[in-house]
Amino acid sequence: MKKKLTKKIAVITLGATLIFSSFGFKSDFFEIAKQIEIFTTLFKEINMNYVEETNPAALMDTAIKAMLADLDPYTNYWNEQDVEAARINNSGEYSGIGATVQVIEDALLIMEPYKGYPADKAGLKAGDKIIEIEGIKVADYTDDVGELLNGSPDSQINIKFRRQGEIKSTDLNRSAINLKAVPFYELLDEKTGYIVLSRFNAKASSETIRALKDLKNQGAEEIILDLRGNPGGLLTEAINVSNIFLPKGELITTTKSVIEKYNRAYQTQKEPVDTQIPLVVLVNGRSASASEIVAGAIQDLDRGVVVGARSFGKGLVQRPKELAYGTQLKITISRYYTPSGRCIQSLNYAERDEEGKAIKRTADDYNEFKTRKGRSVFDGGGISPDVKLETSEYSNITNALLAENTIFDFATEYYYKNELSDPESFEFTDADFNSFKNFLKTSNFNYQTATEADLEELLTTASQEGYEQDILDHYKSISTTIDEQKKEELDNKKHEIVSLLTDEIIKRYFYKEGLYEYYIDHNPEILEAKSILNDTQRYSQILQ
């Protein structure tokens, strides 16, 4: 009953609340006042007269979220807990158990325990499902249950969790958590330095500078900067990281909006560390936002070679706006553009298809731009690398496997069935891949192609028009053919799936640090980057 009520309230209030996103800029003030008054009186009457007890805060939260869902996924309402979480993310410091978690149906799924922090010391593993925190059942907690894991340093917390069907309990002491922007760097050979930049928090540029200087002192004459999987963060840090390799005064990105005051150009403000050292930047489909700003600037200014796969395409700029009672509105105000003029944003949320999904441009609609040296680069969202590798790409089926945690779940099963003492000896074999395919058959993995969605719609329409029986046999035949092709697609995309499975399995045994060590001699992108850097002629030709 409550869920139906909140959905109705959301629909009723959507039109009235939409005006807040453009208050003072685009709307008629009389119309704004009118709609606010309608909403206020409606909200009051429901809370005063509805047949059952209502929760005003829950109703308002539903109305706000329904309004923002009609815009883009990055324009969000933040309550006090969300504001604090954003502060922690940007600073990289907080007090808790030291693990990334994901909310699932009735539990908190541990995605990764950080080495040496409380969760790790207490023996918690990736794949464990926290079901109770200090006597509070996760399934019964309506607010942000993840906040229960945080608290003051040295405070004790009891956790009950489910592992491989067995219920376990543990006590641990929270501690200060320091999330490094650069979790790993190393001299790969006599002259190749490797730096992993995993997030653009307030420490991103300072930690990158420290790593670069240390590597140069060790003899590094060329650098690989790994931005794969980096979701972005602070714009200022994206400028500062670019500034490490680019001169003072260089244009890094511009922001454009229909609102004049948000049209800005961002340039480097400091003296660089090294503008000459050969540079390769690694990106993939999970490199987003600030990562794309850095990669785009390096590419457009011909400062280095970009290797991997097209980046995510998150080019919408958000700014927090203070609201009442410590809450905020994180609102999209503009779009990012690279120095050559390319828009980073991939999806157009202003234009949607029949299912309400944002439209993505096709290659036929891409526009050509020129780098400083006259190389052709194209828009279309994200940064397309100079050297593309299949192992960096994420096809539709791979994205579906990631979205449903299927690769993660298989790694969990693998961990409890196999021993691994040395990452150097690990190889994901053909037999392992067949085990993975069998695992998919027994799991709830469901990958629907666009063709299947269209066929379902066709069958529904045929049923409404009385033709269902006539086409049902054809539908079944086509569905069988598609199922066979989907099985083939798993094999066709084996290279990218195996790469992700290998990463997840190595992390289970040896943490992120062990994975980076494994990368040095086994990762295709790093090996390709080294090959490019060690071939001066090839490096120069790519940038000409």
Catalytic annotation, residues = 289, 300, 314
In single-letter form, the type of residue at position 543 comes to: L
DSSP of 182-244, one letter per residue? S-EEEE-SSSEEEEE---BSTTHHHHHHHHHHHHHHTT--EEEEE-TT---B-HHHHHHHHHH
- The conformation of residue 106, written as its DSSP 8-state character, comes to S
Q: Report d(CA 58, CA 421) in Å as an integer.
A: 50
The radius of gyration of the chain's CA atoms, rounded to the nearest angstrom, is 25
Residue position matching structure tokens 């390096």: 298
* Ordered alpha helix ranges (H), 320-405: 396-403
Instruction: Dihedral sign for Cα 158, 162, 167, 168, please.
Output: negative
Residue-by-residue DSSP string for 273-284: S-SSS-EEEEE-
Q: What is the DSSP code (8-state) at residue 135?
A: T
> How far is the C-alpha of 219 from the C-alpha of 173, rounded, in Å?
42
Residue 335: its H or E element = strand 328-337
Amino acid type, 521: D
**b/e 295-309 (16+ beta carbons within 10 angstroms → b):** bbbbbbbbbbbbbbb
